[in-house]
Amino acid sequence: MSWLIRFLALTLVLLCGTWWAGWWCVPVAAAAFGAWSAHQRSAVLTATLASACAWGALLAYDATVGPVGRLLAIFGQMLRMPGGMIAVLTIAFAALLGASASALARGIRRLIAPT
Amino acid sequence: MSDTAPIAAVVARASQAASLLLSAATLAAALYVGARGAGAIPPLGAFLDPAHGVWSVARAAELPRTASVRIAGLRDSVAVTYDDRGVPHIFAQNEDDLMRAFGFVVARDRLFQMELQTRATAGTLSELVGERALGADIAARAQGLAWGAERKWKALPDTSKNRRLVQAYADGVNAYLAQMRPEELPFEYHLFHTRPQPWKAQYTYYLLARMALTLAWSDDEVRHAGAAALVGERAADALFPANAPIQEPIEPVAGRRAPRYDTTPLPPPAPRDSTHAAIAAAGSPTGNLPAVETVAAETSTADAEWLGALRGSGEVAVGSNNWAVSPRRTAAGHALLSGDPHLQLTLPSIWYEVHLQVPGVIDTYGVTIPGGPIVPIGFNRSMAWTATNTGADVLDYFAEQVDDERHPTKYQVDGVWLPLERRVETFFGQGGRALGGRALRTTVLYQTHRGPMIRINGRWLSRRWTALDASDDGAYLRLASEARSVDEWMTIMQGYAVPAQNFLVADTLGHIAIRSTGHYPLRGGDGRGDRVADGTRRASDWRGFWPVARYPQSRDPAQGYLASNNQQPRDPQVDPSYFGANWPAPWRAMRINRLLRADSAVTPDAMRRYQTDPTSEQTDLFLRPMFDAVAQAATGDVDTAAVRGAALLRDWDGRFTPDNERAVLYDVMMEELSQRTWDELRATATVRRGPTPSSAVLAMLMRDPNSLWWDDRTTAQRETRDSLLVASIGAAYRRVTRMYGPPGTRWRWSGIRTATINHLLRLPGLGRSQIPMSSGRGTLSPSDGDGTHGASWRFVVELSSDVHAWGTYPGGQSGNPVSDRYDDRLAAWTAGTLDSLRFPRRAADLRSPRATLTLRPER
């Protein structure tokens, strides 16, 4: 399976999982992916990017159906920083969850069943 | 090579283990912050989740174009049509369904506000926002509002129609909660990482109690004691009088066409009197601080300034107005009514516009307070009604004698020891008891037969307050909104108790009427309620309430109009009975009376213009003597700043308009004059604020240029009125030039006196500020220094056969801060314009609705 297909499939799983089940889906799905593709060198990178893209896509959807810009402006005033930072933080948080969960699962899998 | 291979393997293993540990630690930290948060940071997982977290709020910014929901308990379908202004028009087939839909619809737009108000009254804000609200919670429970509200609810018979309808409203709110989609969870719940609590029917009574706190609380006893401690009893009586020195009463006096001035000179200040010091030192005994605002103050960096503005300025620049004109004085020959209640301005707004209809029963449009299934200000097909606050003294303190100073169990009345009622109150942190919030504190509250007790400087006082008595005021308001005439309305409202309001009504038959309606205590002795009463005597107790016939009132007066502006309702020459003390200055009353006396063909547009009229009746009374004093002084050695200041104010048109460049000088001059005149009322020379008499008292003092009150105690020479006026304008000129430079555009009123509309919790980014206003000292739309109070709802109704109405308020229908409907009325409110209000007879009559909602019975 090519990297792109694996990436898109994982992104879709994370997107739908977040939509239906909530944020917990990200570490769970990323961990499953990390364990499943433990022998792929790009597993952690794939999970990181897919997590960021899944939440980025959901944010983009929010922005198409609602005034996310106003929300950013409110956050900007509340946190006294550029409002966009909270969007960056959101995507970074998903990436962090995806990266750490997949790396941990991949590492355990490789420890248990080394090549 | 064979030697290095095991080493490489060990290194690789170690590296793998380290990498694993790092991943585990990172994941654990991310999961912890995601699930639990850290410090002030909410749990980031749920918060940032773009599907269900705070971002989803954007998806629910606007109402869906069409929606259909099945809810339990409905007998028939209810059609809700939102007009282009976002106002829901609810068309139901019976009252129970109407109330269910009403609760559903209001919760849909204002859910967080409803819970916040409830918690502020109940003293459980800490369970929502954490320990920082503990002070406000303790104050709220000491006020006993929730306790009183629960009593009122329990006192309602099970068969009561109002109980059933209030329960239906609560069921509607809970039906909304049950089907609420994740994105509909209000923004604030995401911030505090909590969920809405189920709505109980009695919360409606909490809301009414909260309105009583805002409108019917008075601490005349404390203010009087404070002044008496500084200048003696007699002077305190004159400075904070039971009767206003300028009389332009609500109840017209036959044949009078101008205000009446009481020219009795003020008695001079007497030496300090320590017998009043104990109570005076306490300030406001429970802090007359609406609890939500207290939380806000505790979270703001400007606590001291805010508290100072609230407590110390003496003259509160909040003022509601209403007036109605008989058909013979209107251009079109129909009665006109204007409502302009002033309150603290918040976002979301205190009001929510709604139209309720059940064919043949109710067809009412107006504003409701979220949580209350009533329309306290509005109109129907036959009449319109509105209110200003009466401000009567309905709260008294009694000094009690107890058996144990620290842990009392009994109190003495007429030599007999009576048991104290004792309540233990426990305060929980975020989440409350149900969700594992920790207990923050426990307090014990005591109560006599009069009401809750408080302890001030070792003295125990009990409080009797009409707001804690059993009454069902919501029922009267609900019934009155269905009335068909002025007379029917007045009859229904006879039993209404609290908060006392100057209810003004007009109908399509051409009648207008006003009545200061509420329970007013009958007291023993001299009948005064502005002194702490002796609690050891049963004779000090209230003996009942005034009969309705004695309330200040008027119907279709000869003058052809009626107006109220919170002033003393009845001229004491007509009835000298004690009704309250330290009435707001009558400038607004004088202004609207002048405008209405001069206009014999009033139009709805004139009514609208009067609401933001920028002229004050007080300016002439102070400026003319000031001009004369400066001219007189100019013959000698005079402060050049005073001469310049006076010259600038001579050019002033006396209007507090946004583009005015002189109003600021007058404003500061008045502040200087007040500070210098009432120096005797400051405990020490360094205290900037003390109890401050009304500007009407100051205006009357102007007639006595050599009064001892003009003397500045800190100087060796004896000052007079004129020397103080010269000093005040000189100091004002210096202050204004220091703050804003030489006279010019920086003196514009629009950059100085602006409205500030804070979020209910003063959350940054959710309020609006720097809103220019046509308002100043004594104008019909007054403002105070911080601009946080003002016109909360303005409307005009023309009582023609087909009722027409216009209105607006400073905010919008939605509580969602990213919605267009959060503050879409602010522009009209700022400009002083009003929107035409849609009042369709059928849902189909409403052209281009913004959204529709159909509520159907469960199958």
Residue of A41, A62, A64 to mutate, interface with B, max B Cβ within 10 Å: A62
Cβ–Cβ gap A27/B31 under 8 Å: yes
DSSP for residue B773: -
Q: For the residues A103-110, what does the mean pLDDT come to?
A: 92
B759, two tokens: 């979020």
What's the per-residue H, E or C state across B639-695?
CHHHHHHHHHHHCCCCECCCCCCCHHHHHHHHHHHHHHHHHHHCCCCCCCCCCCCCH
Q: Any idea which residue has 């550029």 for tokens?
A: A82
Min Cα distance A49 → chain B (Å) is: 16
Average pLDDT over chain A, rounded to an integer: 93
Tell me, rounded to whole angstroms, the distance of Cα A109 from its chain centroid: 21
Min Cα distance B440 → chain A (Å) is: 28
Distance, in Å, from the CA atom of B401 to the CA atom of B221, rounded to the nearest integer, reads 18
Instruction: List phi, psi (to 5°) of B648.
Output: -65, -40
Q: Any idea which residue has 């003295």 for tokens?
A: B459
| Cβ contact A86:A68 at 8 Å | no
| Cβ contact B498:B469 at 8 Å | yes
Distance, in Å, from the CA atom of A21 to the CA atom of B46, rounded to the nearest integer, reads 11
Distance, in Å, from the CA atom of B15 to the CA atom of B187, rounded to the nearest integer, reads 45
State the Cα angle at B370 between B366 and B372, rounded to 5°.
80
**Residue B322 DSSP SS3:** strand
Residue-level pLDDT at B309: 32
Min Cα distance A1 → chain B (Å) is: 26
Q: Which helix (H) or strand (E) holds B507?
A: strand B501-507
CB contacts, 8 Å: A71 with chain B: 54-55, 57-58, 818
CB contacts, 8 Å: A75 with chain B: 765
Residue-level pLDDT at B279: 58
Distance, in Å, from the CA atom of B687 to the CA atom of B705, rounded to the nearest integer, reads 26
Cβ–Cβ gap A18/B55 under 8 Å: no
Number of residues assigned to chain B? 859
| Cβ contact B697:B683 at 8 Å | no
Cβ–Cβ gap B45/A96 under 8 Å: no
Total Cβ atoms within 10 A of residue B263: 9
Higher pLDDT: B40 or A98? It is A98
Alpha-carbon dihedral sign for residues B459, B464, B465, B470: positive
A16 touches chain B (CB under 8 A): no
Question: pTM for the whole thing?
Answer: 0.93
Q: What is the DSSP string of B185-206?
A: S-HHHHHHT--PPPPPTTHHHH
DSSP for residue B85: T
| Cβ contact B168:B105 at 8 Å | no
Distance, in Å, from the CA atom of B339 to the CA atom of B361, rounded to the nearest integer, reads 24
**Residue B287 DSSP SS3:** coil
Strand partners, B790: B343
Residue-level pLDDT at B217: 87
CB contacts, 8 Å: B57 with chain A: 66, 71
Q: Any idea which residue has 């849609």 for tokens?
A: B838
| Cβ contact B353:B366 at 8 Å | yes
Nearest to A71 among B24, B30, B57 (CB): B57
H helix runs in B302-374, sequence order: 303-312
Min Cα distance B184 → chain A (Å) is: 12
**B604-644 per-position pLDDT tens digit:** 999 999 999 999 999 999 999 999 999 999 887 788 999 99
B166, two tokens: 């209030």
Residue type, B763: L
Instruction: List phi, psi (to 5°) of B768.
Output: -130, 140
Peptide bond preceding B376 in cis form (omega within 30 of 0): no
Residue-level pLDDT at B271: 82
Residue of A41, A93, A111 to mutate, interface with B, max B Cβ within 10 Å: A93
The boundaries of the domain holding residue A48 are 3-112
Residue of A nearest to B15 (CA): A107
| Cβ contact B324:B504 at 8 Å | yes
Distance, in Å, from the CA atom of B797 to the CA atom of B386, rounded to the nearest integer, reads 10
| Cβ contact B326:B798 at 8 Å | no
Cβ–Cβ gap B48/A74 under 8 Å: no
DSSP for residue B120: H
Q: What percent of chain A has pLDDT over 70?
A: 97
Residues ≥6 apart with Cβ < 8 Å to B154: none
Distance, in Å, from the CA atom of B572 to the CA atom of B31, rounded to the nearest integer, reads 71
Of B819, B831, B830, nearest to B82 by C-alpha is B819
Min Cα distance A3 → chain B (Å) is: 23
Q: Which helix (H) or strand (E) holds B456?
A: strand B453-456
**Residue B19 DSSP SS3:** helix
Cβ–Cβ gap A71/B60 under 8 Å: no
| Cβ contact B789:B343 at 8 Å | yes
Q: Which ipTM did the prediction report?
A: 0.97
Distance, in Å, from the CA atom of B54 to the CA atom of B52, rounded to the nearest integer, reads 7
B304, two tokens: 């001291």
Peptide bond preceding B499 in cis form (omega within 30 of 0): yes
Residue-level pLDDT at B160: 93
Instruction: List phi, psi (to 5°) of B824.
Output: -70, -10
CA dihedral B262, B264, B268, B270 (to 10 degrees): -80
**Residue B452 DSSP SS3:** strand
Distance, in Å, from the CA atom of B244 to the CA atom of B239, rounded to the nearest integer, reads 10
Tell me, rounded to whole angstroms, the distance of Cα B671 from its chain centroid: 24
**B147-203 per-position pLDDT tens digit:** 999 999 999 999 999 999 999 999 999 999 999 999 999 999 999 999 999 999 999
Of B613, B553, B551, B552, nearest to B587 by C-alpha is B613
Alpha-carbon dihedral sign for residues B770, B771, B776, B778: negative
Q: What is the DSSP string of B606-640?
A: HHHHHHT--B-SSHHHHHHHHHHHHHHHTTSS--H
Strand partners, B397: B463
Total Cβ atoms within 10 A of residue B443: 14
Total Cβ atoms within 10 A of residue B317: 23
Residue-level pLDDT at B70: 97
Residues ≥6 apart with Cβ < 8 Å to A59: A68, A87, A90, A91, B50, B55
B451, two tokens: 């009401």
Nearest to A93 among B44, B57, B766 (CB): B44
Residue-level pLDDT at B314: 43
Domain count, chain A: 1
CB contacts, 8 Å: A63 with chain B: 58
Tell me, rounded to whole angstroms, the distance of Cα B777 from its chain centroid: 19
CB contacts, 8 Å: A74 with chain B: 765-766, 817-818
**B387-425 per-position pLDDT tens digit:** 999 999 999 999 999 999 989 999 999 999 999 999 999
Kindly list the residues of chain B whose beta carbon comes within 8 Å of any beta carbon in chain A. 16, 19-20, 23-24, 26-27, 30-31, 34, 44-46, 48-62, 763-766, 817-820
Min Cα distance B618 → chain A (Å) is: 40
B528, two tokens: 């005064």
Residue-level pLDDT at A30: 97
Nearest to A62 among B23, B27, B58 (CB): B58
Q: Is B258 exposed, middle or buried (0-12, 13-18, 19+ CB in 10 A)?
A: exposed
- Structural domains present in chain B: 220-240+274-284 (no CATH), 619-751 (1.10.1400.10)
Q: Is B93 exposed, middle or buried (0-12, 13-18, 19+ CB in 10 A)?
A: middle
What's the per-residue H, E or C state across B349-367?
CCCEEEEEEECCCEEEEEE
**B275-322 per-position pLDDT tens digit:** 666 555 555 444 333 333 333 333 332 223 323 332 333 455 568 999
Which ranges of chain B have pLDDT less than 50?
Answer: 1, 284-314
Distance, in Å, from the CA atom of B505 to the CA atom of B487, rounded to the nearest integer, reads 9
| Cβ contact B44:A23 at 8 Å | no
